[in-house]
């Protein structure tokens, strides 16, 4: 009996290479033994709705697009009691998840991995009732990806993110937070918060010494404390470039769950997409909750 595949295509993601090679990709899937149903996406929120309703009928769910497209696929799969294995064809601008999972950016090579690679179980994060595949964030610069025009992303790539960030530097303001994590409570003012399990954020790679794992059930939580002057700003920038989050300007934790509360609602981004305004964020790491196809020779920590 032929295996069933549901293949989501976001034709507007990044450079949309998939538009040129769609039939070649489908041919690879068909030769791999799948009866392929192609579902072009037309609106935000469509993918999780379709997966929640129909995903149980398929042996493999595949999405082609950017990190936002992958986020929607994960969000749909997490609603199923027995989610099928996920395949991913990177098609966005920065593709942090593709870098973390060592997936090729070429859609034909990525399609081959979907049918002949190996499945690996990865952690999935949640903030309240929303899911994220690799990072949840709030504060300075975290709105860059969803406020940057799609055309700018295509033309300038990651430079668009940096340019948009420079324009937003005057918007930095301290955010009073209360953090409950690992049996302790911390109150402070921060300018940026990151929660995730990924070796790439915004196209920047994490050092191996940080021992970030996608499978250990622990999220990395990094809070950047309030910057008071240009000396602080330069020190923080230098520490971030070194990926040293142990100094006086940071709170850094590994945890399976945490609660971050604010005096007033704060905007979050989940996998680069707007995640809503939140006053109390209940964060959970769901250990090895989903399987995704990766190259046979890849090392996933």
Reading the block at residue 205, the tokens are: 């790679």
Q: Which of 224, 179, 215 is nearest to 197 (CA)?
A: 215
What's the CATH number where 271 sits?
Answer: 2.60.200.40
Reading the block at residue 276, the tokens are: 């809503």
Q: What domain range is 17 assigned to?
A: 3-122+290-294
- Position 68 pLDDT exceeds 90: no
Reading the block at residue 277, the tokens are: 């305004």
Residue 160 sits in the same domain as residue 273:
yes
| pTM score of the predicted model | 0.85
Number of domains the chain contains:
2
Predicted confidence band at 35 (pLDDT cuts at 50, 70, 90)?
very high
Which of the pair, 229 or 106, is modelled with greater confidence? 106
- Position 143 pLDDT exceeds 90: no
Q: What percent of the chain has pLDDT over 90?
A: 50
Residue 231 sits in the same domain as residue 176:
yes
Check residue 20 and give its pLDDT. 84
Which of the pair, 59 or 252, is modelled with greater confidence? 59
Query: Is the residue at 299 inside a domain?
Result: no
Q: What is the average pLDDT across 101-111?
A: 90
160-217 confidence digits (pLDDT tens): 444 455 555 556 788 999 999 999 999 999 988 989 876 545 444 444 444 567 889 9
Query: Is the residue at 180 inside a domain?
Result: yes
Within 8 A by CB and 6+ apart from 25, the residues are 18, 64, 89, 107, 108, 111
Residue 110 sits in the same domain as residue 144:
no
Residue 107 sits in the same domain as residue 154:
no
Look-up of token digits 């037309």? 42
Give the range with max mean pLDDT: 6-20, 106-120, 222-236, 287-301.
106-120
Check residue 149 and give its pLDDT. 54
Q: What is the average pLDDT across 122-130?
A: 95
- Give long-range contacts, CB 8 A cutoff, 24+ apart: 242-251: 243/206, 243/207, 243/210, 249/224, 249/225, 250/222, 250/223, 250/224, 250/225, 251/179, 251/186, 251/188, 251/190, 251/221, 251/222, 251/223, 251/225
């Amino acid at each position: 009996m032929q295996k069933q595949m549901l293949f989501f295509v976001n034709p507007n993601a990044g450079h949309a290479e998939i538009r040129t090679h769609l039939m070649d990709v489908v041919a690879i899937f068909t030769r791999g033994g799948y009866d392929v149903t192609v579902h072009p996406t037309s609106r935000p929120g469509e993918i999780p709705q379709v997966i929640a309703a129909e995903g149980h009928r398929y042996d493999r769910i595949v999405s082609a697009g950017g990190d936002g497209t992958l986020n929607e696929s994960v969000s749909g799969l997490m609603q199923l009691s027995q989610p099928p294995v996920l395949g991913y064809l990177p098609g966005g601008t920065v593709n942090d998840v593709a870098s973390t999972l060592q997936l090729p950016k070429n859609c034909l090579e990525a399609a081959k991995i979907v049918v002949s690679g190996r499945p690996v179980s990865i952690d999935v994060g949640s903030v309240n009732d929303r899911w994220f595949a690799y990072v949840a964030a709030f504060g300075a610069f975290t709105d860059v990806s969803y406020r940057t025009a799609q055309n700018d992303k295509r033309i300038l790539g990651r430079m668009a993110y940096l340019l948009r960030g420079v324009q937003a530097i005057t918007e930095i303001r301290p955010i009073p937070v209360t953090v409950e994590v690992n049996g302790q409570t911390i109150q402070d003012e921060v300018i940026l918060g990151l929660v995730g399990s990924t070796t790439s954020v915004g196209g920047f790679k994490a050092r191996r010494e940080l021992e970030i794992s996608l499978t250990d059930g622990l999220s990395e939580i990094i809070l950047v404390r309030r910057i008071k002057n240009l000396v602080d700003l330069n020190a923080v920038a230098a520490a971030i470039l070194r990926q040293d989050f142990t100094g006086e300007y940071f709170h850094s934790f590994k945890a399976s769950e945490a609660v971050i509360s604010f005096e007033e609602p704060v905007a979050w981004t989940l996998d680069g997409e707007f995640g809503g305004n939140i006053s109390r964020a209940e964060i959970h790491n769901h250990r090895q909750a989903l399987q995704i196809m990766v190259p046979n020779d890849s090392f996933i920590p």
